[in-house]
Amino acid sequence: MKKFITSILAIMSLNSVFAQEHAILNHRHSKHVKLKSIDLGDCKWTEGFWADKFKIAEESMIPYMRSVLTGDVGHALNNFKIAARLKQGQHKGMRWHDGDFYKFMEAICYLYVQNGNKDLLQELDGYIEIIKKAQAEDGYLQTQIQLDNKVDRYENRKYHEMYNTGHFLTTACIHYRTTGKRNMLDLAIKHANLLYVQFMPDHKLLGRFGFNQTQIMGLVELYRTTQDERYLKLAEKFINNRGKYPVTEVSTTVGYPIGDMVQERTPLRKSKEAVGHAVLALYYYAGAADVYAETGEQALIDALDRLWMNVTDQKMYVTGAVGQTHYGASSNRDKIEEGFIDQYMMPNMTAYNETCANICNSMFSYRMLGLHGESKYADIMELVLYNSGLSGINLKGDRYYYANPLRVIKGSRDYSKMNTEFPTRQPYLECFCCPPNLVRTIAKVSGWAYSLSENGIAVNLYGGNKLSTKLLDGSKIEITQESNYPWDGAVKLTINKAKHTAFDVMLRIPNWAAGTSVKVNGVAIENAVVAGKFATLHRKWKKGDVITVDFPMDVYFVEGHSRIEEVRNQVAIKRGPVVYCLESADLPKEANIVDAYIKGDAKALKAEYKPNFLGGLTTISGEVLLRKDTPSNTMYSKVAKPMLETYKTQFVPYYSWSNRNNGKESEMSVFLPVIWK
């Protein structure tokens, strides 16, 4: 009994010191956020697309990742054990492998808050105990440095110490919010305190150190959790330092590209163009959005608005993917890798589109959704989630793509010369940053489904779920959502509990959904429903009220901007938020994907839901025209009208491609040349 009372008092004390909040982004009290996060666990998927994906994450994705990262393949946990002197050996894996393990732990936290499995809690406690023993007395924690006697702390930023730090701090905050335990939070606080002492003073070398900016997001979340303003000030310091120091080759940059590659040539507040490594850039922008949420600095949000528009309007693929190339140059002609190049320069076959970058695109947009309260940001979140995010993992949940091109042609690339691009999904990627990033996103996406407005609730994402949360005034609200979205456009929301005074229910009408109808208790709403906007329903709601939404789910074509040379006179197929592709599995064996043309009549294409095909999805059937004469193998040749033959086929969602090839390379294309009537 004494032990029980002591535990209760400890929890009470914890809650009095830290205002315990349970959201992904703990900005309930952030003054410059219009749409705020619901608490984790308040929304649970019940049926349909995301319920199925969450189940796969629970039963396959996370268990498989556990077997990889805690064993001798991934070696991540072994690195912590060696640093903790619990095991003999040397550090293995990439320099950012600690961060991969933290993301895996974060995914487990999201799983725990949904299913309450105490075994997961014990598992996390076991990992945290090892991490505690690995952490240096002064709070330092980076296993690759601690196990390498030839490298000093913060000697060279290519070791990604700040990246590991950011995921460490973020995971610690999420762990605290989902479990109520502070055993990992205490370690994070200790580490952040060291970081403050080390990096807060001006220093021409250390001032350029934080190039992979996850630490900004982590520090802001730690500030929101503890209310220690030092962490917010340090987060802002890392933003202020970018572009402050001359771009010269100094000791902290040896062996890694500089300048635009790491967003240091131009200060953020003066930036107009997304440049360099796409993951570095988007983590940076997401962190800056978190800082703005607390400070309200106008110059910061102005820059973020410009950068978001530059990414989505000039450098983003139709799938929501970003990072056009593996190797290239910025507009300032700095060497870059895995990142942004010139606007409208959008190759298909060599498109890099790192899975992490795509996920970061949705993370940045989620924060912008909160800051501005505009539905266009949730449109990008949804676009990534259904397309370029999920394409990074197979349907079973145990094979991964790092890069996500929009066209694949057999024999066109020498994969033996590439370290992150593969012809088929891989059981393990030596650079393992993307898999846990994607899995943690799938595990937490229910936390993105709704947001809290000033006097109501916003529906950001659709799918079968139950919501039980509190509005910002503390009143309870419960909603049941029924839908087979995105395969079906019908959505039904039933109010199960609501306060007695009027409040808003905001429904996101996607930018593709012109013609959407909305009814309340069978009566069409009077206010206009506009595609690309929230439809706001303000009234006194009562138990049993029913909102029905009917999204038009027509098949339609998408063409690229006239400056995108790579897709001129080509179209992509979409239905709702889902982008489709043609895969060689749906063509004759002798056919090449580049010899397929689409007829310019979207009305001739028919959608069909197939519950037993590729995990249950909607395919689109129609005709393509296949070239029957043999094109010349010369670089350029004289051509007459090609011989074309009609072939009945089907198109599959882009995310589902490369799941029928039994480990063999297949061909695929999102864009197809079009022959108009």
Per-domain boundaries in the chain: 48-256, 260-446, 450-550, 555-675
Round to the nearest angstrom and report the end-to-end CA distance of the chain. 81
State how beta strands 672-675 and 596-599 pair. parallel
**Contact between 81 and 130 (Cβ < 8 Å):** yes
Q: Among 124-128, 206-210, 267-271, 396-400, which stretch is predicted with the lowest mean pLDDT?
A: 206-210
Question: What's the rounded Cα separation, in Å, for the pair 27 and 25?
Answer: 6
- With a pLDDT cut of 90, the percent of the chain lying above it is 83
Q: What is the pLDDT confidence band of residue 4, given thresholds at 50, 70 and 90?
A: very low
Q: What is the pLDDT confidence band of residue 501, given thresholds at 50, 70 and 90?
A: very high
What is the 8-class DSSP label of residue 290?
A: H
Mark residue 531 as left, alpha or beta (left: phi above 0; alpha: psi -120 to 50; beta: remaining): beta
Q: Record the tokens describing residue 354, joined without a space.
A: 């790192």
Q: What is the pLDDT confidence band of residue 16, given thresholds at 50, 70 and 90?
A: very low
Q: Residue 82: enclosing H or E segment and its boundaries?
A: helix 76-83
Phi first, then psi: what are they for 614, rounded to 5°? 50, 45
The pLDDT value recorded for residue 3 is 42
pLDDT tens for each residue of 354-387: 999 999 999 999 999 999 999 999 999 999 999 9
Residue from 39, 17, 18 nearest 28 by CA = 39
Neighbours of 494 (CB within 10 A): 16
What is the 8-class DSSP label of residue 413?
A: S
Question: Which tops the pLDDT comparison, 656 or 6?
Answer: 656
State how beta strands 503-509 and 456-459 pair. parallel
Q: Which residue has the tokens 């909305």?
A: 518
Q: What is the pLDDT confidence band of residue 62, given thresholds at 50, 70 and 90?
A: very high
The pLDDT value recorded for residue 466 is 98
Q: Which residue has the tokens 């945290």?
A: 128
- Inform me whether the pLDDT recorded for 17 exceeds 50: no
CATH topology of domain 450-550: Immunoglobulin-like (2.60.40)
**Contact between 107 and 174 (Cβ < 8 Å):** no
pLDDT tens for each residue of 448-492: 999 999 999 999 999 999 999 999 999 999 999 999 999 999 999
